[in-house]
A and B are shown apart, each in its own frame.
Chain A
Amino acid sequence: GAVVSQHPSRVICKSGTSVKIECRSLDFQATTMFWYRQFPKQSLMLMATSNEGSKATYEQGVEKDKFLINHASLTLSTLTVTSAHPEDSSFYICSAVEDRSNQPQHFGDGTRLSIL
């Protein structure tokens, strides 16, 4: 079955650090990937749509200079949280859509980011 790998699964770092999270589709190609964020006891919120070979599309209220997205290949998208602060601490989840018709989003297993 379709598998999406997300790395790292857990990050703890100091305020001001930049953190890169990888999202890989392991057995399929994905032109489109999505990045979500989930704060405790809240819903998953779409941050941006990542498109291979073009700029990501950000949702309203998400700072594109703060959350850098790179989708350089059909199997890899990265999210970099630049100069992270404690309020960026959250659960970040990616999903990928296989490049075939009528396929669902396959979710990665998430990255728990804690900024001290």
Chain B
Amino acid sequence: RKEVEQDPGPFNVPEGATVAFNCTYSNSASQSFFWYRQDCRKEPKLLMSVYSSGNEDGRFTAQLNRASQYISLLIRDSKLSDSATYLCVVTTQPYFAGGYNKLIFGAGTRLAVHP
């Protein structure tokens, strides 16, 4: 079983749509959770951290359910520029450990936003 599982998609949505991605992780000892964005043939870029209380950054909302080992990302009012692959990432260390965490990546969910 993969440590981090995501629906590969693609999700094809029109501009302005709301789209949600889900992710499950297998290691109950996971402590820190992130969503990254990766454009085709590019490096991953941190989109947002995910906290137990849920957090929002503009059009993006992330939720964490530790009991179900489940993470979600909601994108509202989709833009063409949101087209990318969204990577769910977990680590077994706390957020304050910073970059020394071993990052466990999901294979990503591809989003295609069309006019």
Contacts and interface: CB of A to CB of B under 8 A. Distances in A.
Interface of A: 32, 34, 41-46, 49, 91, 93, 95, 97-98, 101-110, 112
Contacts of A42: 107
Interface of B: 2, 4, 8, 41-46, 87, 96-108
Contacts of A103: 98-99
Given A43-B4, A105-B103, A91 B41 contact: yes
Contacts of A108: 43
Contact of A44 (B8, B44, B46, B96): B44
B99 A109 contact: no
A31 to B, nearest CB: 10
A65 to B, nearest CB: 22
Nearest to A96: B99
- Which 3 A-B residue pairings sit nearest by Cβ, starting from the closest? A97-B99, A107-B43, A105-B99
A110 B105 CA distance: 16
Given A46-B104, A97-B99, 14 more contacts: A32-B100, A42-B107, A43-B4, A43-B105, A44-B44, A44-B103, A46-B102, A93-B43, A93-B44, A97-B98, A104-B46, A104-B98, A109-B43, A110-B43
Contacts of A105: 99, 101, 103
A97 B108 contact: no
B99 A98 contact: yes
B107 to A, nearest CB: 4
A102 B49 CA distance: 14
9 contacts: A43-B107, A44-B103, A45-B105, A46-B102, A46-B103, A93-B43, A93-B44, A110-B41, A110-B43
